[in-house]
């Protein structure tokens, strides 16, 4: 049996859980998230204990693989509604920066035209430093939202605009990302 799938998901105060036929809807004061369920997995909500339990229909390979995954997705939904998720991003490079214009994020990262990325609904951007100052002070901002997949996907789309390069370290990277640096070519002075 799945060790993760056996653990019940604790539902904190202020989070509502609804179970429809093949769907679980978790809502709070800030957002509402839903997940379509497979018939191989059964979800039960005990409102008195404040717990969600996930069980599977059989011990075959496919239901076993879904058991822990569905439980983890439900736990992420509950955590996202109660606390939220954040992803920090830094932009390194002289003259690089970002700004928000309407529902779009505009990145100036060394291309002829600024990159324009639409901000999905439910995602908030908090800009700490809008422009880089030399190579030492990066532009920095935080992406936050209730949906863990949505926050991660949007952060990956931003990073894909200009991934960090290994020689000078210029580009867009996550706050906790470590970029392996390479040494450039050493020119020998020969006579």
| CATH number for the domain that contains residue 167 | 3.90.930.12
Domain check: are 27 and 94 in the same one? no
Give the domain extent around 46: 3-82
29 and 50 share a domain? yes
Model confidence at 188: pLDDT above 80? no
Asked if residue 89 and residue 70 are part of one domain, the reply reads no
Task: Name 125's Cβ contacts closer than 8 Å, sequence gap at least 6.
Answer: 100, 105, 119, 141, 142, 143, 144
Do both 160 and 112 map to the same domain? yes
CA distance 115 to 159: 12
Same-domain status, 53 and 101: no
In a domain, 54, yes or no: yes
* Statement to judge: residues 94 and 58 lie in one domain: no
Q: What angle do CA 115, 121, 124 make, to 5 degrees?
A: 70
pLDDT band for 186, please (50, 70, 90 cuts): confident
Instruction: Give me the phi and psi of 64, to 5 degrees please.
Output: -65, -40
Domain's final residue, options 82, 109, 132: 82
Point out the domain boundary residue: 49, 82, 115. Answer: 82
Rounded CA separation 90/114 (Å) = 17
Answer yes or no: is 188 within a domain: no
Domain count of the fold of the chain: 2
Tokens linked to 88 = 């920090």
Given strand 23-27, what is the order of strands in its sheet?
A: 16-19, 23-27, 32-36
Residue 6 pLDDT greater than 90, yes or no: no
**Predicted structure pTM score:** 0.87
Q: What's the pLDDT tens digit per position in 10-32?
A: 999 989 999 998 899 999 988 99
């Amino acid at each position: 049996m799945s060790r993760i799938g056996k653990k019940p998901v604790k539902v904190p105060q202020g989070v509502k859980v609804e179970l429809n036929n093949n769907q679980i809807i978790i809502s709070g004061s800030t957002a509402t998230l839903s997940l379509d369920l497979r018939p191989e997995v059964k979800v039960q909500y005990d409102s008195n204990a404040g717990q969600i339990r996930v069980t599977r229909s059989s011990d075959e390979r496919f239901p076993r693989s879904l058991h822990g995954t569905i439980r983890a997705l439900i736990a992420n939904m509950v955590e996202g509604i109660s606390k939220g998720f954040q992803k920090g991003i830094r932009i390194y490079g002289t003259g690089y920066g970002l700004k928000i214009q309407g529902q779009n994020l505009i990145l100036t990262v060394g291309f002829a035209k600024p990159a324009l990325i639409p901000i999905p609904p439910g995602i908030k951007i908090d800009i700490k430093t809008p422009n880089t100052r030399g190579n030492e002070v990066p532009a920095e901002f935080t992406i936050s939202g209730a949906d863990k997949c949505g926050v991660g996907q949007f952060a990956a789309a931003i990073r894909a605009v200009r991934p960090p390069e290994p020689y000078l370290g210029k580009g867009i990277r996550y706050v906790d990302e470590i970029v392996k640096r390479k040494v450039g070519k050493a020119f020998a002075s020969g006579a």
